[in-house]
Structure 1
Amino acid sequence: MKESLRYALLEAQLELARQASRSVVLVVTGHAAAGKTALINELNHRLENRLTEVHALAPSSEERERPYWWRYWRRLPARGRVGVFVHGWYGDALFARTEQRLGEGAFHDRLAEIRAFEAELAAENVAIVKLWLDIDRDVQGRHLKALWHDPERAWQVKDHDWQRHLQYHALDALGREMREATEADHAPWLRLAGGPEETPIKALAQRLVAAMAGPLPDVESPLTTPTAGIGAPPRLSDLDAASPEAMDKATYRERLKEAQARLAGNAREIQRRRIPVVLAFEGQDAAGKGGCIHRLTSALDARQYRVHRIAAPSEEERAHPWAWRFWQRLPLDGRVAIFDRSWYGRVLVECVEGLAEPAAWRRGYDEIRRFERQLLAHGAVLGKLFLAVDKDEQLRRFRARAETPHKRHKLTEEDWRNRERWDDYRRAIDDIFVHTHDVDGGWALIDANDKRRARLAVLDHVNRLLEARLAEPR
């Protein structure tokens, strides 16, 4: 590599870190013995290592106990940094299809997931560079034999390298199909010749400089339309009729004890069968989410669950794509993750308050549905509960909080400001139901005007979700 290009690469990376307005993801894949390791090592010598992270992944037991994409979401570089993935999601798909671990339909489904994943990253200012290293089959065979017979380099050749040499033509054809299916303006492929006689570092460095310093391509963000044929979504107006009278305390306590005992039994079986559970609680201010969650967790083993209270994103979270902080919090198989407010803030608070650009929250519907489908595909139980109160009941609770010393901290200026936009929030909530109510991830709309009835309704809904899953054939 010419010194001028080497300095240009380093300067582009340092400027990338100074501006911290984008991150760069490099995926290096291709044929065996094409020089991927040597190329990445050479690239590392040219880059600032403190700003670069290299990932060569074999899935760990922890990763197998979470949805497939978790392993990649959690390793995405923050803005200002470069993440290098050896094979990455492309190697997973390619080798699984070659070895018949993925059927043809599942392979095409994975490619569609890859296209959506990369579009989501690109829309969040992630510059994507994808490199395929080619090598002639005969050259590959000679190179593997030369390495194998060299005592100092024989360790570089693994059993799977010989296997991939035997599968060369299948890998080549599938690689071509994979590249064609995932080519995009925001994630183009760079195809270079590799092998012992090739030095593709110059072309790769030029592409990286462009990714670090060049203009970012536009990413189309189509509006989501409601899915037909999944049943009518709930609407807040469904609760506009007068709520039933308040439940007396004695009846409540007896029913609460029964519901919690039922939940404790279901939760033990869920843990035994290694089924993950994700519960998302949304609701109007003062609707009682915290109280419902407390009654729920009182029936669970403290080692089995974690409650995530979602507020404004931290500095670290803002440095990553929007969905990153939710992927970070997903539970292991057999565990329960409870979100007190959730990813729906993207299309609720951020939408109504103008905290996100219109293009961002509009594409949020697609991103949310895709995220939830991936949870379900992994086998998670997904519960989405919205607690609703009417405007008069909310005012009564606000005033009660203001007058109660140990509850005053719960009432903020933001709560009063949100109340002034009551009708805007109602419209946004109904839009959420329309766009994200699905057969396996449907919404439970809870009338929360009476706290006791609401808590029992939440417990009953969660119990029914768990019991429905436990009744399925293993």
Structure 2
Amino acid sequence: MQTRILRARLLEAQLDLAHRREQSVIVLLTGHAATHKGRLVNELNHWLENRHTEVHALGPSSEEQERPYWWRFWRRIPDRGRIGIFIHGWYGDGLFARAERRLSPGAFRDRLAEIRAFEAELAAEGVVLLKLWMDIDRSDQRHHLQALQADPVRAWQLTTADWQRHLQHAAIEALGREMRNVTAVDHAPWRRLDFRDPPEQLQRVGALLHETLVAPPEPPSEVPEVMAGEMPAAPSIRRADPRTKTSLKKSSYAARLVEEQGRLAINAREAARRRLPVVLAFEGLDAAGKGGSIHRLTAALDARQYRVHRIAAPSDEELALPWAWRFWRRLPADGRIAIFDRSWYGRVLVERVEGLAPEAAWRRAYAEIREFERQLLAHGTVLGKLFLAISQEEQLRRFKARAATPHKRHKLTDEDWRNRERWDDYRQAIDEMFARTQAPGAEWELIACDDKRRARLRVLESVNERLEARLASPI
């Protein structure tokens, strides 16, 4: 195909992508050094309408090092209708670290498994992947590096890392072959490009991108995950009784509240000193007391240390990206606390029960959630998951009290009454959520909340226990 015709067709396909806003596209280039990757990206960007493209060549910043590894990539996923171009992307770190033996064979295999899970999740959420391996023979690579070094106009492009990659050519070739074999799947295949003159390379890449835009691969039906040990026993809301025989007296509650809040203040300061990130996810039935419990929790914390994220219906910005993006972007830096008033579990609770997500999406979400939480734990995050349970009778009493109290009336919505009509459906979804997302380090705490005072104390106790267990650990 003539270059002029190819450029016109590619631009037409890109503008159609931007108009429909149904998918986004990621072009990822990695491979050997001295294969024109930078020049190729620059020229491809000129072919495209660059108002709808973004280019990323990543080196981890201090901000990124303070969060789980995949945060840096999640925050750069392009919106629907856009094209993101990544040089090396999520492959370069592992590939070159393994070539330099900074990464063990087992850790390299684990990274490849993480990549498979990450790319499957992206593909299932409408992100189309075009992955290009840039190949070059070792002798051609040497001649090209020597020519660059001898050219006063282009010598600045050459770095010591390029020569290092040349010395590692055999290792990178073997590791690259293993990497492609493990991560090549129908929804994210690899395309291998031999070293050629830049115009020929650009023609080939342009043709592959056009093909990807007009005929994207089918998304996967399942998402693989990197398992982390056996599942511990999960709680059950249908077997638990949220009622208590006696209510805790106000005087006893006040004394114990001060004690637990003081305990939390000490634990939180020590977690900050040790640079431990903390993520607390609050879920629960309507009127169970999430807001009140979170208020008692944050009263013990330094306001500079924590942030409360109240998760509601997704915004237009969030709808333009994979559903997990809005949780990844809110993860705390090391030494900080993120409190989620409702969380990523909405996909397998309200979105499931109310039909707001397709069945395939919420069923797939269990594996996505387990992998997300495994990534948090791998980074060293202290993860607390609290579910606040309430009896049907107590919920009705609180609904009526809210309706009769002017300053609380805003808390009661038509949605609360509608959710109550699906009581049994929610309880079934909750128990399945417990069973399928219980994991070592990510256990659920089921808290009986018919007695608000006891429930609030138990929330504080649970968070303290989780923090103290981690602070007592030598790791």
What is the TM-score of this pair, normalised by structure 2?
Answer: 0.97
2:17 is equivalent to residue 30 of structure 1: no
- Which amino acid is the alignment partner of residue 183 of structure 1? A
Partner of 2:133: 132
Partner of 1:472: 473
**C-alpha distance in 2, partners of 1:227/1:196?**
46
SS of 2:297's partner is: helix
- Which amino acid is the alignment partner of residue 320 of structure 1? L
List per-residue Cα deviations over 1:203-245 (Å, max 9, x = no partner). 2112211222224414122799x99953321001332274231
- Which amino acid is the alignment partner of residue 3 of structure 2? K
Aligned CA distance change for structure 1 residues 327 and 242 (closer, same or farther; 3 Å) = closer
2:154 is equivalent to residue 153 of structure 1: yes
- Which amino acid is the alignment partner of residue 331 of structure 2? L
Q: Give the conservation status (yes or no) of the 8 Å contact 1:125–1:216.
A: no
- Which amino acid is the alignment partner of residue 108 of structure 1? R
Partner of 1:425: 426
Partner of 1:262: 263
**C-alpha distance in 2, partners of 1:330/1:178?**
29
- Which amino acid is the alignment partner of residue 447 of structure 1? A
Partner of 2:40: 39
- Which amino acid is the alignment partner of residue 76 of structure 1? I
**C-alpha distance in 2, partners of 1:263/1:271?**
12
Alignment of 1:159-308 (within 5 A): 159-196=160-197, 199-221=200-222, 229-240=230-241, 242-308=243-309
2:396 is equivalent to residue 359 of structure 1: no
Superposed displacement of residue 153, structure 1: 1.1
SS of 1:109's partner is: helix
Superposed displacement of residue 439, structure 1: 1.9
- Which amino acid is the alignment partner of residue 291 of structure 1? G
Partner of 2:19: 18
SS of 1:308's partner is: strand
Q: Give the conservation status (yes or no) of the 8 Å contact 1:277–1:380.
A: yes
SS of 1:418's partner is: helix
**C-alpha distance in 1, partners of 2:243/2:150?**
83
SS of 1:68's partner is: coil
Superposed displacement of residue 338, structure 1: 0.3
Q: Give the conservation status (yes or no) of the 8 Å contact 1:236–1:430.
A: yes
Partner of 1:452: 453
Partner of 2:97: 96
**C-alpha distance in 2, partners of 1:222/1:441?**
20
2:40 is equivalent to residue 67 of structure 1: no
Q: Give the conservation status (yes or no) of the 8 Å contact 1:317–1:324.
A: yes
Partner of 1:380: 381
Q: Give the conservation status (yes or no) of the 8 Å contact 2:386–2:444.
A: yes
Q: Give the conservation status (yes or no) of the 8 Å contact 2:120–2:223.
A: no
**C-alpha distance in 1, partners of 2:415/2:205?**
49
SS of 1:237's partner is: coil
2:35 is equivalent to residue 55 of structure 1: no
2:410 is equivalent to residue 409 of structure 1: yes
Q: Give the conservation status (yes or no) of the 8 Å contact 1:223–1:362.
A: no
SS of 2:385's partner is: strand
What is the TM-score of this pair, normalised by structure 1?
Answer: 0.97
SS of 1:265's partner is: helix
Q: Give the conservation status (yes or no) of the 8 Å contact 2:242–2:389.
A: no
Q: 207-216 or 139-148: which moved more? A: 207-216
List per-residue Cα deviations over 1:280-306 (Å, max 9, x = no partner). 000000000000000001111101000
**C-alpha distance in 2, partners of 1:17/1:222?**
27
Q: How many percent identity over aligned positions?
A: 64
Question: Across the two proteins, how many residue pairs are aligned to each other?
Answer: 473
Partner of 2:327: 326
SS of 2:321's partner is: coil
**C-alpha distance in 2, partners of 1:183/1:228?**
26
SS of 1:77's partner is: coil
Superposed displacement of residue 198, structure 1: 6.6
Q: Give the conservation status (yes or no) of the 8 Å contact 1:263–1:459.
A: yes
Q: 459-468 or 139-148: which moved more? A: 139-148
**C-alpha distance in 2, partners of 1:288/1:2?**
64
- Which amino acid is the alignment partner of residue 236 of structure 1? I
Superposed displacement of residue 319, structure 1: 0.3
Partner of 1:348: 349
Q: Give the conservation status (yes or no) of the 8 Å contact 2:228–2:440.
A: no
List per-residue Cα deviations over 1:3-43 (Å, max 9, x = no partner). 11000111100000000000001110110001101110110
SS of 1:355's partner is: coil
RMSD over aligned CA atoms reads: 1.5
SS of 2:115's partner is: helix
Superposed displacement of residue 143, structure 1: 1.1
SS of 2:166's partner is: helix
SS of 2:239's partner is: helix
Q: Give the conservation status (yes or no) of the 8 Å contact 1:33–1:195.
A: no
- Which amino acid is the alignment partner of residue 96 of structure 2? F
